[in-house]
Amino acid sequence: MTETYLKRAQPRPAEEQQALTERVAGMLDQIAATGEAAVADFARALDGWDGEIVLSRAELDRAAARVPDQLRDDIRFAHQNIRRFAEAQRSTLNDMQVELMPGMWAGQKQIPVTAAGCYVPGGRYTHISSALMTVTTARVAGVSQVVAASPPRQGAGIPDAVLYAMDLAGADTILALGGVQAVAAMAGGLFGTRPADVLAGPGNAFVAEAKRQLFGAHGIDMFAGPTDVLIVADSSADADTVAWDLISQAEHGPDSPVWLVTDDRALAEAVLRRAPELAAQLPEVNAAAARTAWDERAEVILCAGRDEMAAVADRYAPEHLHVQARDLDWWLGRLRVYGALFLGAETTVAFGDKAAGPNHVLPTSGAARYTGGLSVQKFIKTVTWQRCDTRGMVPLAEATARISRLEGMAGHATAAELRLKKGTVPAQ
């Protein structure tokens, strides 16, 4: 590798994680011990929320009526794209069976989980799209009960547009809860819900840690860290477009890494100049987050050519990988490690984040090396079955018994040999 770093990210302190882990563990223990009372206490203390936790049908209808017509249309537009993409995914998951040898059949079934908990983040932004991405996907997968939770704003509750999106997407129950208490309530089946088999949705470090600690007893979509983007660009790219695409992702928060990989020094230097200037043009709260992310988490890497650029991109395993370069088909065929791929300057991560259709809940912190993003598959179990008659039973029993004896597993061998002696499967 001959890549040159024109800008490097600052190292992050490791000691913060230990304090977070201990704090979340204590909260989960309290909620496990006292249930809804502890959840309500945390809601008052952390969210400043003393209202009803379970949203009624009347409250949802009033919230929908307050959403402006154009915004309702936009939310429906995004929901339609997300639902159609999820339905297309679902159509690729099929039951099947095969006769592996005479008298022996095996197959698989696609079975949705019974209950899902979908977290919709709050904080500085109103995350309408996260409500659509999680709830819609679980519903299309065939989950029987979908619970959604989102942080209420002090004195105001969950924003109307988020409530409308969760309801439109098909949430059975909506909880005015944020953070650890929301995740724990959905996992524990509190407030009249079923315990969630799968917990999904992005969130802050507390939400991510709660999901991590609950994993095992419950499924989760993935371990999540701060959102990131890597842009691969050659001399055909426009510096302002590249810089805006980096800054738009950096506005998520000060810990969001953004990376530029290019073989054109002039482009790299132009982006290095423009990105801070563009960040300053954002509203104050956005500008502060984007500028800190750019100053502390951004990297600009200069490579010798496209093969090296692709190798660097694969090594970083970005959540979002955006190619703004010539010969897009070559990049589509070559790149292998990413959560979601965006090809060409005509698209942008912002489209994927909000309305395009493919899911925006994606692997971060290098997890794209081994997993993709949220999909209907996360809410569906692929299970197998098998059966055989006497034609298939005999060779299976003989091979199983010999292998089991060699392994020293006498019980397994006996169970197989019993079938040979009886000549049929024992009566139930």
Burial of 31 (0-12, 13-18, 19+ CB in 10 A): buried
Provide the b/e sequence for 244-262 (b: ≥16 CB within 10 Å).
bbbbbbbbbbbbbbbbbbb
Residue for token pair 């300057």: 345
DSSP E strand stretches across 102-197: 104-112, 115-119, 145-150, 173-176
Question: pLDDT tens digit string along 7-57?
Answer: 999 887 666 678 899 999 999 999 999 999 999 999 999 999 999 999 999
Residue 426: what pLDDT?
45
Residue 1: what pLDDT?
58
Residue 15: what pLDDT?
61
* Full-model pTM: 0.91
Residue 10: what pLDDT?
87
Q: Does 243 have pLDDT greater than 50?
A: yes
Question: pLDDT tens digit string along 95-113?
Answer: 999 999 999 999 999 999 9
Q: Does 82 have pLDDT greater than 80?
A: yes
Q: Does 425 have pLDDT greater than 90?
A: no
Residue 19: what pLDDT?
87
Q: Which one is catalytic: 127, 218, 252, 319?
A: 319
Mean pLDDT of 360-381: 95
Kindly list the domain boundaries of the chain, sorted by start residue: 4-13+226-372, 35-221, 389-422
Question: pLDDT tens digit string along 208-231?
Answer: 999 999 999 999 998 888 999 999
Q: Does 427 have pLDDT greater than 50?
A: no
Question: pLDDT tens digit string along 264-294?
Answer: 999 999 999 999 999 999 999 899 999 999 9
Tokens encoding 419: 């079938």
Residue 424: what pLDDT?
56
Write down the CATH superfamily of domain 35-221. Nitrogenase molybdenum iron protein domain (3.40.50.1980)
End-to-end CA gap in the chain: 64
Length of the chain: 428
**C-alpha span between 163 and 254 (Å, rounded):** 27
**C-alpha span between 258 and 255 (Å, rounded):** 10
Asked if 320 is an active-site residue, the reply is: yes
Question: pLDDT tens digit string along 311-347?
Answer: 999 999 999 999 999 999 999 999 999 999 999 999 9
Asked if the domains at 4-13+226-372 and 35-221 fall in one CATH topology, the answer is: yes
The single-letter code of the amino acid at 179 is G
Asked if 218 is an active-site residue, the reply is: no
| Cβ neighbours for 97, distance < 8 A, ≥ 6 positions apart | 105, 106, 107, 108
Domain range 4-13+226-372, its CATH number among 3.40.50.1980, 3.10.180.10, 3.50.50.60, 3.30.565.10 = 3.40.50.1980
